[in-house]
A = this chain, B = another copy of it.
């Protein structure tokens, strides 16, 4: 048996000193690899032929779908169980209940795929109608990162709604990593939702977004302030992100903040606008042009 590396004792001392940042000898967290694979399988079930499962033979594709369903059912069930067990740290005596609950949640998610597809079909149509560069719905599904991020969010949101810990956030972080679009799984978003380009978009946990809303890259729907309790700690769980009613459009790099901020239906928020108050329906909000300083040639030049 070989000896340990000479630095091992120093590391073990460090791990003992701050056990929060060590996750050994505990219930394992959900597997990152398994969750990534579940997300890819869900995309194949939602949009067969567009994602990982690209080459579908006429005679075998029903079998492929069936195989994926079986695989997700088993893998997702196991990961949900790991998430619950980890959350409750110890689950002795209630083991079977956990398994039953995990199986039920998985079954409901998969049985809900046709309903998810109805909503996602509206998202695809909204993307096609909203972007002059889109040539057809196939290009939207096949090439648009916004559609992929929204699809993954809608799956994660279903798990979030029924209280599954860790997994929803892991899923939306996979989408964030791939697309630069960061949607908290707790947000509520109506059908016909389109995010164009998308890099830098942040949608907070308690956002309420209506039907046929369109966002561009860099839009933040964030918190204005965090209520704190008497001892100065942040109070968690309150509505702190804005509400966007139906048919709202928010252009690139605009920032809309606050749980009491309501953007009325059919309102348009221009690029780079910083908004912390409610806006009436059908209103357009733009940056003032005179806020720019223009220097013509001849004056001393300066870079910013």
> A residues bordering B, Cβ < 8 Å?
4-5, 7-8, 10-15, 17-18, 20-26, 28-29, 31-32, 45-50, 54-56, 58, 61-63, 65-67, 69-70, 73, 110-111, 113-114, 117-118, 120-121, 124, 129-133, 135, 137-139, 141-143, 145, 165-166, 169-170, 173, 176-180, 182, 184, 186, 197, 199-200, 202, 204-205, 216-218, 220, 222-226, 233-238, 240, 249, 251-253, 255, 257, 268, 270-277, 279-297, 299, 301-304
Contacts and interface: CB of A to CB of B under 8 A. Distances in A.
A257 B294 CA distance: 17
Copies per assembly: 3
B294 A62 contact: no
A166 B138 CA distance: 10
23 contacts: A5-B65, A8-B66, A8-B69, A21-B121, A23-B48, A23-B54, A28-B56, A130-B234, A132-B223, A132-B237, A180-B200, A202-B217, A220-B252, A220-B271, A222-B252, A226-B303, A255-B272, A268-B303, A268-B304, A270-B274, A271-B304, A286-B292, A287-B292
A279 B257 CA distance: 23
Contacts of A67: 5
A111 B7 contact: yes
B304 A4 contact: no
Contacts of A55: 28, 31
Given A5-B70, A220-B253, A276-B289, 11 more contacts: A5-B66, A8-B66, A21-B50, A21-B121, A29-B138, A135-B236, A182-B199, A251-B303, A255-B271, A271-B274, A283-B294
A63 to B, nearest CB: 7
A282 B302 CA distance: 11
Nearest to A134: B236
